[in-house]
Structure 1
């Protein structure tokens, strides 16, 4: 757990460096732009899906008969917003993982691990595959656990989903440039508890208003620090053996 907290502390320190601030901004702006365009282009389709879901839950009929009508419209607008914000955030996470990681990795490697050899065990295909699997399983987790909301246990679902998404999305890219393929497999297998702990703690940030704007880059930095530190320690132990 010390290694996880150390990674979080280093990530927080690096978060406000001038080289990092732009990476904080542009994925969130791009994700917001993408979903605004999609919302405008497919508004009726999205609204229809939401109405269908509410109808399945028995809520749509209640909204239809609600008076005055502006209350029903306001509730529906809030529901749209509650759907829109997570979509923007998850999209920003994916954009950061795929395109924002290289400058962050260079920053961390130059300042903290300048002597760490780059063995380039990862690939663009591997990175894309990891991102696709992460997002699909994240969505699947939400869908499968929907019944838990009616049992009162649904409150834990967002935290589990955020922990899974972060650790699956960022761990691959965090070490792909420096670790060999064998080292990556070993790190993912033997440090599973650390990856999940880091995923949960960085995932909590997305539920804090305003701070969640920093969430994707904070998570990326934390995983880079953790992954490279574990890789450096592994090589040190191997050389000493």
Structure 2
């Protein structure tokens, strides 16, 4: 637990570096522009689709048809905005994972782990497998959660989906440049509870207004700090065990 909060606090402090600020901004700008353009074409159809998913029949005895239509349109519009924000944040996270992870890894490694050897055990194929599988599972979970947001269960499922996305999206790439293939396999299959813990903590940030704008870069930095610390500790322990034999 201490390692999780240590990684998160270091990542938060790194956000105020000028180089990191630019890395934080441009994925958000690209993601926002993309979804604003898409939103122009799908805004009205998506409101109609959302209102069809939510059972409003229990309100029919309280309001006439015109008032009920306004209520459903308003709720559909609010949900549209929420979904749009989620899509922007998730798209920015994907852009971060695909295009800026290497820069963030260099930033953290040079300042905190300058002696940590790079063994380049990861691969582009491995990274894409993790990213694609993370996106697919996240979309499925979010689709399941959407109709249940008004009863609380949907928000919980959405939170768990964000946690899964975070740890699946960034844990592999955070290690890929420094760990060997063997180290990657060991570290990604052990201490899963801590990976989920960091995923939940960073996932919480995605649901807090204003702070969620920092979520993509903050999450990437937190996993880089966490995984490089784990790798460094693993190598120190392995070296110590070897010296005792």
Q: Aligned-pair distance for 1:154?
A: 2.8
More divergent stretch after superposition (154-163 vs 101-110): 154-163
Q: Aligned-pair distance for 1:147?
A: 6.6
Q: Aligned-pair distance for 1:114?
A: 0.6
Structure 1 residues 64, 30: CA separation in 2 closer, same or farther (over 3 Å shift)? farther
| Structure 2 counterpart of 1:51, from 48, 53, 56 | 48
Q: Aligned-pair distance for 1:149?
A: 4.9
Give yes or no for contact 2:120–2:176 (8 Å, CA) kept in 1.
yes
- Which residue of structure 2 aligns with residue 67 of structure 1? 67
Structure 1 residues 158, 54: CA separation in 2 closer, same or farther (over 3 Å shift)? same
Give yes or no for contact 1:64–1:72 (8 Å, CA) kept in 2.
no
Q: Aligned-pair distance for 1:153?
A: 2.7
1:64-213 equivalences in 2 (<5 Å): 65-67=65-67, 73-145=73-145, 149=149, 152-213=152-213
Q: Distance in 2 between matches of 1:150 and 1:35?
A: 24
Give yes or no for contact 2:141–2:158 (8 Å, CA) kept in 1.
no
Q: Distance in 1 between matches of 2:110 and 2:152?
A: 47
Give yes or no for contact 1:66–1:72 (8 Å, CA) kept in 2.
no
**CA offsets 1:85-109 (integer angstroms, 9 cap, x no match):** 1111110111111112111100100
Structure 2: tracts of 5 or more residues without a match: none
Work out the number of aligned pairs and report it. Answer: 238
Structure 1 residues 152, 224: CA separation in 2 closer, same or farther (over 3 Å shift)? closer
Paired residue secondary structure (1:114): coil
More divergent stretch after superposition (63-72 vs 218-227): 63-72
More divergent stretch after superposition (50-59 vs 13-22): 50-59
> What is the TM-score normalised by the length of structure 1?
0.89
Q: Aligned-pair distance for 1:201?
A: 0.5
Structure 1: tracts of 5 or more residues without a match: none
> What is the TM-score normalised by the length of structure 2?
0.88
Structure 1 residues 193, 99: CA separation in 2 closer, same or farther (over 3 Å shift)? same
Structure 1 residues 75, 156: CA separation in 2 closer, same or farther (over 3 Å shift)? closer
**CA offsets 1:186-211 (integer angstroms, 9 cap, x no match):** 11111211111100001111111111
Structure 1 residues 211, 178: CA separation in 2 closer, same or farther (over 3 Å shift)? same
